Structure 1
Amino acid sequence: MAVGDQAQSGWDRRLTKQRLELVATVILAVAALATTFSGYQASLWDGIQSTDYSKASALRTEAAQKHTEANQLRLADLSVFESYLEAQAIGADELARFYRVRFREEFEIAFNAWESLQPRTNPDAPPSPLAMPDYQLAVEQQARDLTARAESTFAAGQDANSYSDAFTLATLFFAAVLFFAAVSERFSHRPYRAVLLGIAALGLIGGAIITASQPLTTG
């Protein structure tokens, strides 16, 4: 080989080496930034998940309290109604009036609707005002609303958890990119370096696709 050809070959090798080093540097820099970003997003979504789960738990507790309150009101309405019927049955009109004026408004509405069906002679009438569709407890509706909010908040927490997992997976991809790009610097044989950088580039693309497919948050 002529001296000129040897010099040209040496120049080509140095140029290729510089290009590979430049590619490795770019991949390392991008992967480092991407690792930091995806780790940050995973941490934020973890915090959102924890907050949503805590809120959902508190809402369920409040809903349970409202359900308990509704059951207590239902029992109280039933007790006063039974006492009213007993007073009527024994002809104690004054005692019956005593209980009648103590009907709660929500029960009063259902009682009037029940009375309009003439339950004493109508076998198709519900057994008591509590079985009427008019018997609606506001606190029970509040309990249902709280339960629905709890389920919605818990679902949001599950979504946040899946986003966090995705960003964590992307972080693993970027960590692998850092490894292969850094290891490529250890090899002087250009094909080996090119293969390792190719693997790193694929990992970078994979991590970028995962990251781009997830919603971002500021916490």
Structure 2
Amino acid sequence: MDESAPAPKHSEMHELVAVILLSLVAVLTAWCGFESSKWGGDSSVAFSAASAARIEAADHDGQARDARGFDLAVYTQWVLAQTGGDTALADYIEERFSPEFAIAFDAWQADGEQESGPFRMPEYVPPGTEEAAEATARADASTKDALDFNEKGDNYSLMTVMFALVLFLAAIAQRGISVLATRLVLGLAGGLALIGLVVLLTFPIRL
């Protein structure tokens, strides 16, 4: 009699344990795949939102840059008029300052013109500056969310690999190996499945 062959009752018990383990881990594997897909989708959406926000920020930044260039050109003419002693022309040009630059210009003069020019004043905020900053902040936040979602999806993907190993071990345990080997393999598979389940319970869920 071959002592390495499992007794019938042992074989049936081991087979039952393996089937239960295979069924449970198959469900967990499917769940991990579902969650990984959901988090991956959220990550893609967040990356798209970040990209759109950065494009918006670039548009507003271009608007602010153009406004600054226009104000600089007008201010240059004002400086030339002042330097040339043509106060009438300087006053005429001053009346045509943009609202944003006029605020900074008045603050600059009220401060005794200590700064090198109105452009250095904190009051000078050309149109598009605040919008660009807000869009950039949204882009940064969306990028952070996207990376976080991607990490969560990767964690679930890693768990599918671990559960695949459990499935492999459970299948090996049904291949007519010795009783001791079967128990060791099933024990290892069960231990890994339990560890995986515990870790899985700590993961956030996305439905």
Q: Is the pair's TM-score, using the shorter chain for normalization, greater than 0.5?
A: yes
How many percent of aligned residue pairs carry the same amino acid?
Answer: 33
**Letter of the structure 1 residue corresponding to residue 93 of structure 2:** Y
Q: Give the aligned residue type for 1:66.
A: H
| Deviation for aligned residue 1:164 | 1.1
Q: Is the Cα contact below 8 Å between 1:39 and 1:167 reproduced in 2?
A: yes
Match of 2:205 in 1: 216
Offset at residue 196 of structure 1 (A) = 1.2
Report deviation, 1:19.
2.3
The CA deviation at 1:189 is 2.3
> Residue 171 of structure 1 contacts residue 207 of structure 1 at CA under 8 Å; is this kept in 2?
no
Q: Which has the higher contact order (CA 8 A, sep 6+)?
A: 2
Q: Distance in 1 between matches of 2:132 and 2:109?
A: 29
Provide the residue aligned with 1:4 in structure 2. Answer: none
Does residue 37 in structure 1 map to residue 21 in structure 2?
A: no
Check conservation: 1:166, 1:211, Cα contact below 8 A: no
Counting only pairs closer than 5 Å after superposition, residues 82-161 of structure 1 correspond to structure 2 as 82-119=76-113, 125-161=114-150
Contact 1:28 1:181 (8 Å CA) reproduced = yes
* Secondary structure class of the residue paired with 1:133: coil
Equivalence map 1:1-219=2 (5 Å)? 13-119=7-113, 125-218=114-207
Paired with 1:152 and 1:189, the residues of 2 have a C-alpha distance of 57
- Stretches of structure 1 that go unaligned for 5 or more consecutive residues are 1-12, 120-124
How much does 1:93 deviate? 3.8
Q: Once the 2 structures are TM-superposed, how far is the Cα of residue 180 of structure 1 from its aligned partner?
A: 1.0
CA shift for structure 1 position 188: 5.0
CA distance in 1, matches of 2:112, 2:177: 99
**CA distance in structure 2 between the aligned counterparts of 1:127 and 1:188, rounded to whole angstroms:** 87
2:67 and 2:127 in contact (8 A); partners too: no
CA displacement, residues 28-79 of structure 1 (integer Å, 9 cap, x when unaligned): 1100000100011111111111221121112112112211211111111111
1:136 CA displacement? 2.1
TM-score (norm 2): 0.90
Cα pair 1:56 1:149 within 8 Å, conserved? yes
Instruction: Output the amino acid matched with 1:183.
Output: I
Q: Max radius of gyration: which structure?
A: 1
Name the SS of the counterpart of 1:118 in structure 2: coil
Offset, 1:138: 4.5
Moved beyond 6 Å, runs of 4+: none
Which segment is superposed worse, 151-160 or 17-26? 17-26
Secondary structure of 1:25's aligned partner: helix
Letter in 2 for 1:109: I
Partners of 1:143 and 1:95 lie apart in 2 by: 35
- Cα shift at 1:157: 0.8
1:5 equivalent in structure 2: none
Superposition RMSD in Å: 1.8
The residue type paired with residue 174 of structure 1 is F
> 1:94 & 1:138 partners in 2: Cα distance?
28
Q: Which moved more, 1:26-35 or 1:199-208?
A: 199-208
How many angstroms does 1:165 deviate by?
A: 1.1
One-letter code of the match for 1:207? G
